[in-house]
Amino acid sequence: MSAIAVVLNGEHANADDAAGLSDLLRQWGYAGDFPFAVAVDGKLVPAPQLEQTRLSAGAQVEVIALRQGG
Amino acid sequence: MSPDAPLAVAGAQLRSRLLLGTARYPSPAALAASIAAAQPGALTVALRRAGPGGADFYSLVRDAGCPLLPNTAGCRTADEAVACAKLSRELLDTSWIKLEVIGDDDTLQPEPFGLLAAAERLVADGFAVWAYATEDLVLCRRLHEAGCAAVMPWGSPIGSGAGIAHPDRLVALRERLPDAVLIVDAGIGRPSDAAAAMELGMDAVLLNTAVAQAQDPPLMAAAFRDAVAAGRAAWLAGTVPRLEHAQPSTPPIDVPFWHAAPANAEGEAAP
């Protein structure tokens, strides 16, 4: 395993290329107290696939949640 | 038909024909109180990068007791809107999507070609599409024919509060698309605007800023609730046609004496 740099919601973040995305999300503070959806490089990663998903260096990770809207 | 009958749209029966946005309120408490006063048929929400306060907002809208309608606000192309819709389906486990594909940053009017393309793709993918459109008859007809659950012509530009700019076009939409669910979305500034839209036969109105930015949002929410109900009842009751001239409402027969000229002291008519 090795440390890689990724982009999390537009900000620099560190990740482990051997860790599953679900574990990485927990490390980044997404504790499951509200629902979120995840896209990597612009593509939705359905919840059942988060555990097996591995990131590569420079991956663009977007964690999306509900917000106020009209 | 009872004016209280629910609105059937996208497989649901909405308890109210007032749909409410959740943005621009002065506080979460004002939003919650406005929802309680409006008793809306649905609440619109957006998708954004997760940040602080996400859990609080989620629990507020989850507990509001009405369905959530996620939007694709900020999308400028069909590809962006389709990707956003898929994220919202993942997030909320709903096939409902308020489809916005914006074509101009000043007017925030829809980009009609991308809008129709996105609507067709999303309908084919099983989404119930609520399409934000202008009041252009051909665009709205194409969206309806594409299988959109609701077609949502604007009253006037988003957030402008300018009301119903072209009521004649809404009349034409109602006449030409009798089976479409038509919801005026955007531009509603006052309860009288909402009532006017409903009087023209729109099935519902969707508004946000007019309540959220009012001096007293919950009081304004209640005013809109009543205005929408009044406009709906008026449409069902059938409004009288406009006339170019007066028509006395009191019957002109059997008028006692007011047409007679005043008499003088000798009982003679004045000159």
Residue B127: which residues within 8 A CB-CB, separation 6 or more? B85, B89, B95, B96, B97
Q: How far apart are CA A20 and CA A54, in angstroms?
A: 5
- The single-letter code of the amino acid at B121 is R
Which is nearest to B130 in space by CA: B84, B85, B96, B81?
B96
> Which active-site residues of B does the annotation give?
98
Which residue in B has a C-alpha nearest to residue A62's C-alpha? B49
pLDDT band at B251 (very low <50, low <70, confident <90, very high): confident
Q: How far apart are CA B97 and CA B200, in angstroms?
A: 25
Q: Is A35 on the interface with B (CB under 8 A)?
A: yes
Instruction: Tell me the chain A residues in contact with residue B90 when contact means C-beta distances shorter than 8 Å.
Output: 37, 44, 46-47
Q: Is A28 on the interface with B (CB under 8 A)?
A: no
Is residue B223 over pLDDT 60? yes
Average pLDDT, chain B: 93
Gyration radius (Cα) of chain A, Å: 12
Mean pLDDT of B56-81: 93
Number of CB atoms found within 10 A of residue A12's CB? 8
Residue A1: which residues within 8 A CB-CB, separation 6 or more? A16, A17, A18, A19
Find out whether B205 and B228 touch, Cβ atoms under 8 Å.
yes
Instruction: Tell me the chain B residues in contact with residue A70 when contact means C-beta distances shorter than 8 Å.
Output: 21-24, 44, 46, 71, 73, 158-159, 206, 208-209
pLDDT band at B53 (very low <50, low <70, confident <90, very high): low
Q: CB B71 to CB A70 under 8 A?
A: yes
Q: What is the ipTM of this complex?
A: 0.88
Which is nearest to B208 in space by CA: A37, A68, A13, A10?
A68
Q: Is A1 on the interface with B (CB under 8 A)?
A: no
Q: CB B90 to CB A10 under 8 A?
A: no
pTM: 0.89
Calculate how close chain B gets to A39, using CA atoms only, in Å: 8
Angle at the Cα of B11 from the Cα atoms of B5 and B13, rounded to 5 degrees? 20
Task: Read off the pLDDT of residues B124-151 as tens digits, 9 standing for 90 and up.
Answer: 999 999 999 999 999 999 999 999 999 9
Task: Read off the pLDDT of residues A35-49 as tens digits, 9 standing for 90 and up.
Answer: 899 999 988 999 999
